[in-house]
Structure 1
């Protein structure tokens, strides 16, 4: 893959740099990112697009041929002209409730699709919790039992469904969902628990507003989402990102454990 001299850096995170390059959005990963993970993200995108979800089209997966990223794996998708729902909401603070409703409606739409070829949510959570050795073994056992008792589910669960991963098209008529690295086939209420968790880490009040809307729009009791909060908090803690660890540990330990 070749990157043009006119590329514009959009974001830089721990393991990747994101560029707008012509009609492409290019994620360039660092040397620590396994090739299998990059190809898996591309496969996830193709699979969710295949069931009818609006996502940026996959264009290419290959190594960067030259420049500062030479030899790094990169994933190119079709660039969607627009802004994120987060940017729209930040520009109109008075409309926060309306944008949360948009987010929930889109999340419920994603959850209405099934994609049985995706990785299983239950299996992924089990692996992540088993690897989280920083929490008390009795707590970890309780969480493992919760995951083991999950009912079957094949709904598309994004795994990182927040406003920054929703793109509003330039005409405002279409919403696209991006960043499908964590998607699984599973239970919608667990995906909602992850969104609630991610909101809670930044703005607890916004998290509660989200949960009220999600519960009402999807006819899901809030208690069901809260039940899975310690599980998704442990899964997030297992990523070892070295951020919000104290908050996550507090959420993991919510509840009565014997």
Structure 2
């Protein structure tokens, strides 16, 4: 089999074989691949622009492989874009995100439960700080059941020249769209600072949300993100977001 590497992350490598993309999980429990396939299938069945899931299988050495439709596309935002192109890309992202949020996510993991699990596992905050964040999280829970992607940013939207595709559904939940938007805002804030305000303005206009209602989730979202593979500077900035609000 002729495999071409097309992506690599902390826990998986993605290769291409013809019209199939294969996500090869590394030292990861089998349920992780099965869970991601289930979330992606949920979004696909809802009629969203999502690559089709083809198969999940265990390889000879025990690692899991998720086979899916290969999308020959580029990320929504790429280096070299001018101001107008970037603004149009953010507008497209917001339209797609709000389309996702209109889907009923009942049956997927609960967003609040997932965030609480992530905050409890954080080792960079003291017990009192985590208790405060968990209390705020529980009090802010609206019981919403909207489909939320969980990591909606430009690198997870591919454009094949005709159509935009949404990928990487492993963190999909049923929950509050404002939480999902706050996560997107935080990613922009960390890596595309000049675009963060544009994104927030466009999202609020499209969804009818209030800016402060989105930003109210920032401490909890930043805390949950501390678990991820970040450098010390990125982690320090997240802690600053937590303390400042």
Q: What TM-score do you get using the length of structure 2 for normalisation?
A: 0.93
Gap regions ≥5 residues in structure 1? none
> What is the Cα deviation at residue 229 of structure 1?
0.6
Residue 136 of structure 1 is matched in structure 2 by 126
Match of 1:220 in 2: 209
Contact 1:114 1:154 in 2 (8 A): yes
CA RMSD after TM alignment: 1.4
CA–CA distance in structure 2, aligned partners of residues 204 and 84 of structure 1: 18
1:102 to 75, 92, 108: 92
Q: Report whether the alignment pairs 1:183 with 2:146.
A: no
The superposition leaves residues 185-204 of structure 1 with CA deviations (integer Å, 9 ceiling, x where unpaired) of: 00000000000111111122
Which of 6, 9, 24 aligns to 2:5? It is 9
1:78 aligns with 2:69: yes
Among 44, 68, 90, which residue is 1:49 paired with? 44
Q: Could you say what secondary structure the match of 1:61 adopts?
A: strand
Deviation at 1:51, TM superposition (A): 1.8
In structure 2, what is the equivalent of residue 36 of structure 1? 31
Paired with 2:152 and 2:230, the residues of 1 have a C-alpha distance of 21
Detail structure 1 runs of 4+ shifted over 3 Å in the superposition.
Answer: none
Deviates more, 1:116-125 or 1:207-216: 207-216
C-alpha distance 85-242 of structure 1, shift in aligned 2 (>3 A)? closer
Q: Does residue 97 of structure 2 align to residue 111 of structure 1?
A: no
CA distances 1:34-58 after superposition (whole Å, capped 9, x unpaired) = 1111100001111121222121010
Aligned length: 241
In 1, Cα distance between equivalents of 2:242 and 2:37: 31
Q: Is the 8 A contact 1:47 1:117 kept in 2?
A: no
Counterpart in the other structure of 1:58:
53
The unaligned stretches of length 5 or more in structure 2 are none
- Give the Cα separation in 2 of the matches to 1:60 and 1:51: 19
Query: What SS does the aligned partner of 1:62 have?
Result: strand
The answer to whether residue 239 in structure 2 is matched with residue 249 in structure 1 is: yes
Q: Distance in 2 between matches of 1:196 and 1:242?
A: 17
Question: Cα 1:155–1:242, aligned 2, differ >3 Å: closer, same or farther?
Answer: same
| Distance apart, 1:212 and its partner CA | 1.2
What is the distance in 2 between the residues matched to 1:30 and 1:98?
37
Moved more, 11-20 or 113-122: 11-20
The one-character-per-residue Cα deviations of 1:73-115 (angstroms, maximum 9, x if unpaired) are 111101123222123xx35323111110000011001101012
CA distance in 2, matches of 1:72, 1:130: 28
Q: Assess if the C-alpha contact under 8 Å between 2:24 and 2:65 holds in 1.
A: yes
